[in-house]
Amino acid sequence: MTRHLLADDDLTPAEQAEVLDLAAELKSAPYDHKPLAGPVTVAMVFDKPTLRTQTSFSAGVAELGGHAMMIDGAMAGIGVRESVPDVARILGRQAGQIVWRTYAQSGVEEMAAHAGVPVINALTDEFHPCQLLADLLTIREHKGQLAGLRAVFLGDGACNMGNSWLLAGATAGMHVVISGPQGYEPEREIVDRAAAIAATTGGSVALESDPVVAVTAADVVITDTWVSMGKEDEAAIRLGDLAPYQLNAPLLEHAATDAIVMHCLPAYRGKEITAEVLDGPRSVIWDEAENRRHAQKAVMTWLQARR
Ligand code: NVA
């Protein structure tokens, strides 16, 4: 059966570990593996802005011997000019894999149901699984392990990154803490879903509204923009509501002495994170950004073997 990566828990704990091992292997020899030789075309559609995702997928597809086909979401008008199932059938006849960044999670699910080829979620309002694989790869590189580490996500816990941290962190056996104000908590359904996974991996999930309590003894401290793509109209209120959750040096003092700092970018210095922390010695953000390519190459390689 064709496999997809639509949400972080599409990979079992064993599969996630397998993909991360593969990512490390591909990173160590970036030009030695050509599972997309042919070249296989990977169709990439972006309905929202992109820099890291577009560049890392394009470069990654090229390194795997494939062909990256860029499709402008506005021009394609998926769901407007043509229905998602019709677009899925068209792209599935032209491309070997489909990468889509869009708004609704139901969109990528519908695409996967009709494409007949692997579909990769390149960010929806709900999840960002490619980013999490890059994040986990980065943590493994810096910490040598995932299981048992305390990972604290600060800020908008209801955004795609908060949700993906819950599912992917739990899958990896980590202790995931989401810390944000009332009204910015992840949905109960996702917390419960992550808790069920954590029960099988030895990890845990928790919500903690006090940022100092949350960050205390953290091994990994993560934040993300307070104004996710599509939420621009709420910018003023969000900047006020989330201000107490800024990742700054005094807050980071409470973390483990060897804690690392992560941010999926783009970052807004002086808002969700200070420049001092983002550009400081604990920050691993540039490794994290580079690892998007290696992680996504692993995902494409893994999915290509399971069509
Ligand atoms: N939560 C952010 C992630 C950006 C990569 C957004 O959706 O805009």
Task: Report pLDDT for 73.
Answer: 87
Q: What is the pLDDT of residues 126-152, one digit of tens each?
A: 999 999 999 999 999 999 999 999 999
Pocket lining: 264 vs ligand 1, CB cutoff 6 Å: yes
List, in sequence order, every residue forming a beta bridge with 153; answer none if it has no partner: 178, 222
- Two tokens, residue 262: 């992560």
The pLDDT score that the predictor gives to residue 270 is: 98
Across 190-218, average pLDDT: 98
Which residue has the least CA distance to atom 1 on ligand 1? 228
Question: What is the predicted pLDDT for the residue at 237?
Answer: 98
Residue 224 Cβ inside 6 Å of ligand 1? The answer reads: yes
pLDDT tens per residue, range 218-232: 999 999 999 999 999
pLDDT tens across 152-171, in order? 999 999 999 999 999 999 99
| pLDDT score of 33 | 97
Contacts of 122 (CB under 8 A, 6+ apart): 44, 46, 50, 53, 57, 99, 100, 101, 130
Query: Does 128 qualify as catalytic in the annotation?
Result: yes
Displacement of CA 233 from its chain's centroid (Å): 24
Q: What is the identity of the amino acid at 105? A: Q
Reported as a single tens digit per residue, the pLDDT across 235-251 is 999 999 999 999 999 99
pLDDT band at 22 (very low <50, low <70, confident <90, very high): very high
Nearest protein Cα to ligand 1, atom 6:
228
pTM of the predicted model as reported, rounded to 2 decimal places: 0.98
Give the neighbor-by-neighbor strand order of the sheet with 97-101.
67-72, 41-46, 97-101, 119-121
